[in-house]
Amino acid sequence: MRLTITALALAGLFCLPASAATGKELYDKSCKACHGAQGEGNPGMAKMLKVEIRHLGSPEVQKSTDAQLKKAILEGTGKMKPVKLSAADADAVVAFVRTLKK
């Protein structure tokens, strides 16, 4: 029974391309606290930082190029601090962010 539940919990990862699945794992570790599980933004964090955290699937975020998103991840932007990831890992996070498009 436990194996079946685990398999069902992981099933969402198997629907993503390999880089996006890796990106989701990295996102969950490095980004989720501020940006939310599905890119919706953490209201508590936004209030604390006195910023608006846009949904990562929003047209405003999705119109950014991959290079712009990668730069924001690796160098930070506004009050967002840089995330310590390799360039390849940042590419994987960008691939995951693309799956959040509304």
- List, for residues 45-78, the tens digit of each pLDDT value: 999 999 999 999 999 999 999 999 999 999 999 9
Alpha-carbon distance values, 47 to 17, 30, 35, 51, 94 (Å): 34, 19, 13, 7, 25
- Alpha carbon distance 42, 39 (integer Å): 9
* Burial (Cβ within 10 Å: 0-12, 13-18, ≥19) of residue 97: buried
25-48-42 Cα angle (round to 5): 35
Confidence of residue 7 (pLDDT cuts 50, 70, 90): very low
